[in-house]
Amino acid sequence: MAIVFSAVLILVWYNFMNRHYHNRAIINELTQKAQVVGRETALYENGTISADAFNHFLRTAPDLLQTGIAMDMNKDVTWSTPRRPSNAKWSPEDLSLLNNHIGTFVDSIQAKQKVIFTTKLGKENNGDTVICVGVPILSITKDDRPEEVLGGIYAFRSMDDYQTSSSPIIISFLASFLLTLSMMAFPAYYYITLIVRPLLQIRDVAKGISDGDLSKRAEINSQAEFGELATSINQMADHLQLNIADLEAESNRLQQILNGLNEGIIAYTAKLHLAHLNPVFREYFSECQNLELGSSINDLPVEDIREAINEAVATGTTQYITISVGELLLFGQLLLLHSADKTFQGVVGLFRDVTKEQQLEQTRRDYVSNVSHELKTPLTAIRCMVEPIIDGLIKDPDRLQRYYHIIYDEVLRMARLIDDMLELSRLQSGKAVIELEPCQLQTLLENLYAKFSSVAKEKQINFALELPNCNLPLAYVNPDRIEQIIYVFLDNASKFTPPGGDIILRAALKDDRIIIVVQDTGKGIAAEDKAHVFERFYKADKSHGSIGTGLGLSIVKEITEKTGEKVWVESELGHGAAFYISVAVYNNQDACPIDKPLSGSGGAANKIGADLSSHTSSDEANNAE
């Protein structure tokens, strides 16, 4: 198509330029010939040449001028040529019309100006375009008088001469063009296809890559330029594929990290559309389970978070929020995200469960308060006893001795508190070394029963020991520590069992483990305190009148964790509590079945005895000593 268009354009340009130069040549030729005829006419008019010579000139004028008219200033034709040949296209009527048309230019001739115009003649033959050149006939004077215009010579030439001469050229050009085009069509098509096909193929590959299909590759052919282009596009696709794979891997890693965090995370874009929501956040806020990515901030069902996000975006500052969800206390931090050029990119919210931290902080405050009270109480009692003695107000020896005993008991109370604190600190720091050895638990339990019986009797509590009929196998424990643990259990039971209540110390073998339990008929454990009974400093009774410092069971927990033993509690509020410890059997000795109690301080022991093979999970927070 481009070749055809170029050929037509060249042909049109050639025709235009050829016609232009041909017309100029005709005008110059007619002007020169008309001037020659005009000069001869002027010579005849002033008598320089004779009438015979002038007539002879007129007879030869057609050879010079072909077609011409001489007209005086009165618009009268003095002579004309040719004497209309038989093949002329112009009729007498055409020549008469031409004479009338020439007469309109008399004023220009009078002004000694050359006249050039075109007209149509021979309308019956579809017209013939005629070009006419008119020049003035100037008189020839022998003196310096101005030249006088005698008339005008008008020379004509038909444009058929141009059509006749140019048509063969144009036809030859068209024939040559068509022949060349037909000869070059197949080679041109072949080479154009050879060039265009790789370009189209590369274009399709580039479009596919831009649409996201990175598997497309361009064919590498032997042509250097196209081969280099195809290679470059393939390399670009390879790099894009690697980069996108890296980005996807990085995105997956980030997604896994965010999903693996213990904090709940929610993120919104700059237009406040949901960008990310990790499983922990959905777990914290069950109403967000069906929240879809891309949803608007207005679709967020948690009003407090929605308002905090809007406030952060409006003020451009980080917002902090605390939300209670059931038993959980969540602390949220809403941060604005900005790019390197400080452009706002979105907002992300981090929500952390601070329930345990809050409980630990409350426990710490309670511990400080309890320890302060526990230290202040004996110090106050000692001060009240010492001041009268110093002032000499106590004279009675018996009364003075009683004061000394009170002071001594309070000092022992403070010493026990300090010892417990130091013991727990050593256990938690890892400085305390606990060595295990074979131990005959049956003897140890019998000794403990004997020691604690007096305490139970003093508090009017029924105390019983239940052991198998046969001796228990050796246990692999630290005897001092196991005695300390059981004594803490017994001490707690005695503190919270009312007079007339029952305490049972029981032991048996189960699944290659020796299980020891201290069971009481005290007030039991509240359900909300079950999970905290072995925590440090924890006391369910928050009043200063509660017994103990909350360290005894924490010490028990630390000891059992270091020796590999297991300790737990079972209880229901109002139905007493049972504290268990499971210890390892030394050398995997033969098992001994559970038997009836060995002894007891009343018949209540059999009534409150529990089957060691099944327990219900509960704790006793009030027994936190």
pLDDT reported for residue 202: 79
Residue of 502, 504, 496 whose CA lies nearest to 573: 496
Q: Is 299 exposed, middle or buried (0-12, 13-18, 19+ CB in 10 A)?
A: middle
Say which CATH topology domain 358-429 has: Helix Hairpins (1.10.287)
- Give the list of residues 6+ apart from residue 42 with CB closer than 8 angstroms, or none: 137, 138, 139, 140, 150
- Domain boundaries of the chain, sorted by first residue: 2-158, 261-352, 358-429, 437-623
What is residue 38's three-state secondary structure?
helix
Q: Are 350 and 263 in contact (CB under 8 A)?
A: yes
Comparing 2-158 with 437-623, is the CATH topology the same?
Answer: no
CA distance 3 to 407: 124
DSSP for 262-323, please give it.
Answer: SSEEEEEETT-BEEEE-HHHHHH-GGGTTPPTT-BGGG-S-HHHHHHHHHHHHHTS-EEEEE
Amino acid occupying residue 215: S
Q: Are 30 and 157 in contact (CB under 8 A)?
A: yes
Tell the residue number behind the tokens 């559970």, with chain if given.
Answer: 594
Q: Which helix (H) or strand (E) holds 328?
A: strand 328-338
pLDDT reported for residue 461: 93
pLDDT reported for residue 623: 37
CATH superfamily of 437-623: Histidine kinase-like ATPase, C-terminal domain (3.30.565.10)
In tens, the pLDDT along 510-540 reads 888 999 999 999 888 887 887 788 876 666 6
- Cα–chain-centroid distance for residue 59? 103
Give the Å distances, CA to CA, from 167 to 23, 113, 161.
16, 35, 10
**pLDDT lower than 50: segments of the chain:** 83-88, 125, 544, 590-625
Instruction: Write phi, then psi, for 623 (nearest 5 degrees).
Output: -95, 40
Please tell me the total number of residues recorded for the chain in this structure: 625
pLDDT reported for residue 314: 92
CA distance 245 to 299: 33
Question: Can you say whether residue 528 is alpha, beta or left, with left for phi > 0 and alpha for psi between -120 and 50 degrees?
Answer: alpha
Residue of 337, 333, 328 whose CA lies nearest to 350: 333
pLDDT reported for residue 290: 86
In tens, the pLDDT along 316-362 reads 999 999 999 888 899 999 999 998 888 999 999 999 999 888 888 88
pLDDT reported for residue 87: 43
Number of H helices, E strands in the chain: 14, 18
CATH superfamily of 2-158: PAS domain (3.30.450.20)
pLDDT reported for residue 143: 62
Q: Is 562 exposed, middle or buried (0-12, 13-18, 19+ CB in 10 A)?
A: middle
261-352 carries CATH number 2.40.37.10? no
Q: Is 251 exposed, middle or buried (0-12, 13-18, 19+ CB in 10 A)?
A: exposed
pLDDT reported for residue 104: 74
